[in-house]
Amino acid sequence: MFTKKYLKTKPVCKVFFKVLKKNIGPAQTVKIIGEFNNWDMEVLPMKKLKNGDFSYNIDLEKDKAYQFRYLVDGKKWMNDENADAYLPSPFPGIDNSVIAL
Question: How confident is the model over 46-96, as pLDDT tens digits?
Answer: 999 999 999 999 999 999 999 999 999 999 999 999 999 999 998 899 999
pLDDT of residue 16: 98
SS3 content of the chain, % helix, strand, coil (to 5): 5, 50, 45
**CATH dotted code for 2-100:** 2.60.40.10
Question: How confident is the model over 3-18, as pLDDT tens digits?
Answer: 999 999 999 999 999 9
- Which residue ranges make up each domain of the chain? 2-100
* DSSP H/E element including 55: strand 54-61
Q: Is residue 86 within 8 Å of residue 97, measured between CB atoms? A: yes
Q: Is residue 38 within 8 Å of residue 80, measured between CB atoms? A: no
pLDDT of residue 10: 93
CA distances from 26 to 48, 53, 96 (A): 11, 9, 23
Structure pTM?
0.94
pLDDT bracket for residue 36 (50, 70, 90): very high
